[in-house]
Amino acid sequence: MDHDTEFMSRALALARRGLGLTRPNPAVGALLVKDGRVIAEGWHRRAGSEHAEVAAIEAADQPLRGATLYCTLEPCCHDGPYKRTPPCTRRIISEGIGRVVVAALDPNPAVDGRGVAALREAGIEVTVGPLAMPALQLNEAFAAAVRLRRPFVHLKAAQTLDGYIATADGDSRWITDKQARTVAHELRAAGDAVVVGAATVRRDNPLLTVRHVAGRQPLRVVLSGCRPLPADSPLFHDRFADRTLVYQPEAGRTHVDLHALLDDLLRRDVQSVLVEGGSRVLSSFLARGLWDRLSLFVAPRILGGGVRTVDGLGIASIADAIALQEVSIERLGNGVLISGYRDPRQLFGSGFRHREVVGHAEAGAVPDALMEEGYVYGNC
Amino acid sequence: MDHDTEFMSRALALARRGLGLTRPNPAVGALLVKDGRVIAEGWHRRAGSEHAEVAAIEAADQPLRGATLYCTLEPCCHDGPYKRTPPCTRRIISEGIGRVVVAALDPNPAVDGRGVAALREAGIEVTVGPLAMPALQLNEAFAAAVRLRRPFVHLKAAQTLDGYIATADGDSRWITDKQARTVAHELRAAGDAVVVGAATVRRDNPLLTVRHVAGRQPLRVVLSGCRPLPADSPLFHDRFADRTLVYQPEAGRTHVDLHALLDDLLRRDVQSVLVEGGSRVLSSFLARGLWDRLSLFVAPRILGGGVRTVDGLGIASIADAIALQEVSIERLGNGVLISGYRDPRQLFGSGFRHREVVGHAEAGAVPDALMEEGYVYGNC
């Protein structure tokens, strides 16, 4: 691993400390390096507090002339009515920092390369690209908010090798093993809301709580059809009952309008949703292109019949199949977690495009630290 | 990687040199180590020629007292009417070799631990287990022949993430990318016969030749139904036309009897078959339990409808689902190859059971050399 990637890997670890706390801002980490040694670290702790770059600068106890600054996200360059901190680029320039390494450009259209341009105009050497994709992934919900103006939609399912999420009778416990279920609960805790269909509530009687990991309880959203939901579901009676929302179809419709659903959830400050099924709900989000990421837990079992994971899309040719992008593959116990994005160019903007040009030349092998933290790229 | 695993990894590489040439014998590699250095290497070249252990012993130019012998398979201990070489255990004992490390016990019921017992009785220290599974996998067709008395049956399919091998119209080109197709052709070249159903011949008009890799052309077997096959198929006209066999159902039946098929193929000296589909043929082998290994290429695409990989098994509960054993997961391009066995205990016998006891304690991390050669275990 080259030095830039090594330092950026540490900056990413710092960024992660702010995960879930910085909203509506992204989680960002930064560190300062002089003569090959880290002299200060910082991360964005919460909206309104100083940005990561400034936190690192404030933490330094020596002059920064000639130092290198590592940032997981492009430094901001804009003032504005809703902005509570001055632009970081101004501070970086005034400190005499000689070089800035940025993992990824800011997906926010208000920045989108302008921060890097401002630094370069001031004569600072700027490198963009090391660990761009992990840096962007860290803030995928932020990217959806600023670029797509809707919650980040993460589709999740656990299926057999041959693509069934349940037997014909609806039995789905347990397709995957404990290791996969733990990761599934991590995904649940990472989102602001979990969405399921009425059929799943009827069939599985799910709790939709965060159990195998520590984490926040997301909002529980049930998409109801025309039939009443089981009144004795724990979703309506447990200690999180006030965190359950039921959406019903408009008069004359049989299904909840998903665009309207996402609009309403965004108004409720939901930045990301994890759609956990069932088959019809997953297929509906897919059919409408209303999704950003799909994570599929695949168990090494053959069922040879039952409820299909996805059905009824009616795609007529392989060339028209929905192709996941930026696919990651992670072994979990005896199974595998396959995850990918619908359209990372649209979601992440210039940051992603830039990565394609610079990232490949810079990146090389995957740093071990990132592998451990679950970012798996390349051959495994 | 400990020393035993390191030396065994080299012995496995030697064993691979004999792959496809030693029939009906297994491919075996051996090396001799003295004072921590390799002093001789050997492998079994073809039936009738010396076994790997003896080849290594013959290649040594110094006394072997106190040396350690590494063998990928348990040394033979039996004489017999069909056996062309004397038992290796006798030779090992007479050379004064001090220690023998064996990757796996011989699946052949005529050996099955007796070789190791003979060595121990003679006072030789014997370790069993390092890299047992790769050593057994190397000779999976041999194991099926000696233990199941039928060809090794390897089921193979390429599917979308959601479990479809083709669109509703039968379009299946190309679900997977070139990297997966190359590995698929390696599988084809490794088998003695490739089996497809009539529907696949009609729909895909396949060549079933080995193209993306160097290798032997396997027998091409078509399972015909009641309708005639397309007379202009290249299977009946290309330069391998004399390597095409068509099996038809017995009078009054609609499908070829798979037991009878495998019996007949074994009589034709077919030790292993690769079943390439389609859906009905794969499902039939699965439903009858007539398979040993399943390899599924999964492309990161969603089709949302079409021809399912497996269908009609009617398995009523997740607990009864067919669970793959000894699952390997390998990333190929943007997709993943998931492979596993039906019943490795039955297929490999004591060698596999022994591995469970000894292998875990001995093995540790996967040696890099094996990762490169495509054996992927554990977390990736």
pLDDT in tens, B239-295: 999 999 999 999 999 899 999 999 999 999 999 999 998 999 999 999 999 999 999
Closest Cα of chain A to B288: distance in Å?
Answer: 13
Q: How far apart are the first and last CA of chain A?
A: 17
Q: List C-alpha distances in Å: A150 to A22, A146, A237, A259, A270.
A: 18, 8, 30, 9, 9
In the numeric block, the tokens 């497809």 are attached to: B196
Of B38-47, B94-103, B193-202, B225-234, the least confident? B225-234
A210-246 pLDDT, tens digit per residue, is 998 999 999 999 999 888 899 999 999 999 999 999 9
Res B366: pLDDT: 34
Q: Flag whether the ipTM exceeds 0.90.
A: no
CA distance B300 to B268: 39
- The pair of three-digit structure tokens given for residue B113, joined into one six-digit string: 């631990």
CA dihedral B52, B56, B59, B60 (to 10 degrees): -170
Task: Give the one of A309, A330, A334 whose C-beta lies nearest to B163's C-beta.
Answer: A309
What's the CA gap between A162 and B95, in Å, rounded? Answer: 54
**pTM, full prediction:** 0.89
Question: Is the CB of B163 less than 8 angstroms away from the CB of A159?
Answer: yes
Which DSSP category does B361 fall into? H
- Mean pLDDT to the nearest integer, A86-112: 93
The pLDDT tens digits for B22-68 are: 988 999 999 999 999 999 999 999 988 999 999 999 999 999 999 99
- Sign of the CA dihedral with A364 first, then A369, A371, and A374 last: negative
Please calculate the CA angle B143-B148-B152 and round it to the nearest 5 degrees. 60
State both tokens at A284: 């509906």
When pLDDT is cut at 50, 70 and 90, the band that residue A175 belongs to is: confident
- CB contact B159 to A (< 8 Å): yes
DSSP state of A364: -
| Nearest-angstrom CA–CA distance, A141 and A293 | 11
The whole-angstrom separation of Cα B287 and Cα A152 is 42
Containing H/E element for A358?
Answer: none
Question: Is the CB of A338 less than 8 angstroms away from the CB of B298?
Answer: yes
Evaluate whether B275 touches B282 at the Cβ level (below 8 Å).
yes
Q: Residue A79's pLDDT is what?
A: 72
Which residues 29-48 on chain A approach chain B with CB closer than 8 angstroms?
none
Q: Provide the token pair at A74.
A: 């492009």
Residue from the list A309, A316, A335 with its beta carbon closest to the beta carbon of B162: A309
Alpha carbon of B300: minimum distance to chain A alpha carbons (Å): 6
pLDDT (tens digit, 9 = 90+) per residue, A23-80? 889 999 999 999 999 999 999 999 889 999 999 999 999 999 999 999 999 998 877 6
pLDDT surpasses 70 at A346: yes
Residue pairs between chains A and B whose CB atoms are closer than 8 Å: 180
End-to-end CA distance of chain B: 17
Phi, psi values for residue B175, rounded to 5°: -65, -45
Scanning the structure block, which residue is given the tokens 């040439």?
A: B21
Please check whether residue A253 touches B, CB under 8 A.
no
Of residues A73, A52, A63, A283, the one with CA closest to residue A163? A283
- Name chain A contacts of B376, Cβ cutoff 8 Å: 380
Instruction: Flag if A303 and B318 touch (Cβ within 8 Å).
Output: yes
Query: Mutating which of A160, A172, A286, A303 best tests the B interface, going by the most B Cβ atoms within 10 A?
Result: A303
Chain A residues with CB inside 8 Å of B336's CB? 329, 336, 338
Q: Is the peptide bond prior to A86 cis by the omega test (within 30 degrees of 0)?
A: no
Query: Exposure of B13 by Cβ count < 10 A (0-12 exposed, 13-18 middle, 19+ buried)?
Result: middle
Half-sphere exposure of A350 (CA within 13 A, CB side): 15
